[in-house]
A = this chain, B = another copy of it.
Amino acid sequence: MNPRPRIHLTEVAPRDGLQAEACFVPSADKIALIDMLSRSGLAKIEVTSFVSPQAIPALADADAVLGTIHRAPEIIYTVLVPNLRGAERALPLRPDEFNLVMSVSESHNRANLRRSCEESFSALREVVALARTAGIAINVSLSTAFGCPYEGEVAQARVLDWAWQFFDLGVDSIALCDTTGMAYPAQVSTISAAWARRWPLETLTLHFHNTRGMGLANVLAGAAAGVRRFDASLGGLGGCPYAPGATGNVCTEDVAHMLELQGYDCGIDIDILLAASERLQKLVGHEVPGQILKAGRRLERRPAAIVKR
């Protein structure tokens, strides 16, 4: 009997989801949510961002949240660190990992971080040095890796070249991020195969948005190519939909539900995820785009209304 391939999911809602919310979710609620997520079988949780509280007030309580959550030994607790100042602030709280962010397309990096890719890289180099000295793992999230809303197509060679440069600095892993939902399955297969020819696939996480409806199809293409690590957001929260009504991050419970049906082992207790997703919905005060939360799991019997065709 073939064992089911193990997939490792990173939950990004506490950072990537909440940062986009207008309301401030009280620290105690964030902590309770993350503690609940810690019991669901996730491999990694992006807890918060050590960004300036002026820039993102929703995450102004990063220190309190990271310092108070109950950390399960088998889970990697990662935090976004935008710069050296953020890293120095996070360091005493000993997260398991720093998550650094840079766009691989110049115009997106300028629009988002107000500097060139080279300037970002130089600044992040110092953060990497600090993390290595402190013995904290480093993931780099490369934005616009599947296309840029300003420049269009982003060459695969450019993406892989930035990955090389970061690996040369000593980072442990890289996430390729489909920031505005431009990835399509054939593209995902190609870049995953190219990655596997250069580096172990354990170093790669794929981060998809469902902006053009292909989020789950992209996850599946990545998994078929041997990728075992995916970012996802509880309820599909966040991911900065860049058009009104468009969806952002792929939804953790929808991803786990599909992958389990496809014969992968996510190690996830979907009941806990669904309960957490319902709680999240209440915390943010609006509906989240996740589908399983509304429709139930595939074989869940519901007193369905009469359904035609």
Interface residues, chain A, CB within 8 Å of chain B? 16, 19, 101, 108, 111-112, 141, 143, 147, 149-150, 152-153, 177, 179-182, 184-187, 207, 210-217, 220, 239-247, 251, 254, 257-258, 261-263, 287, 290-292, 294-299, 301-302, 304-309
Q: What are 27 A-B interface contacts by the 8 Å CB criterion?
A: A101-B308, A111-B307, A112-B306, A143-B309, A147-B298, A149-B301, A149-B307, A150-B301, A177-B309, A185-B258, A186-B262, A212-B257, A212-B258, A212-B295, A212-B298, A213-B215, A213-B290, A216-B217, A220-B220, A240-B305, A242-B302, A242-B304, A243-B294, A243-B295, A244-B294, A245-B287, A246-B294
Give the nearest-CB partner of A296 in chain B: B243
Contact A295 B184 (CB under 8 A): no
**The residue from B243, B301, B307 contacting A152, defined by CB atoms under 8 A apart:** B301
Cβ contact within 8 Å between B214 and A309: no
Q: Per a CB cutoff under 8 Å, which of B141, B186, B211, B246 touches A309?
A: B141
* CB <8 Å contact, A179 and B307: yes
Of the residues B149, B214, B244, B251, contact of A258 by C-beta under 8 Å: B214
Q: What number of copies of this chain does the assembly contain?
A: 2
Q: Is the CB of A308 within 8 A of B216?
A: no
Per the bound structure, the CA–CA distance linking A177 and B309 in Å amounts to 7
Q: Is the CB of B150 within 8 A of A308?
A: no
Q: How far is the CA of A153 from the CA of B299 in the complex (A)?
A: 7
Residue of B with least CB distance to A152: B299
- Indicate if the CB atoms of A295 and B242 lie closer than 8 Å: yes
| Most B Cβ at <10 Å: residue of A152, A244, A308 | A308
- CB-defined contacts of A179 to chain B, threshold 8 Å: 307, 309
Are B184 and A261 touching (Cβ within 8 A)? yes
- Residue on B nearest A143 in the bound complex, by CB: B309
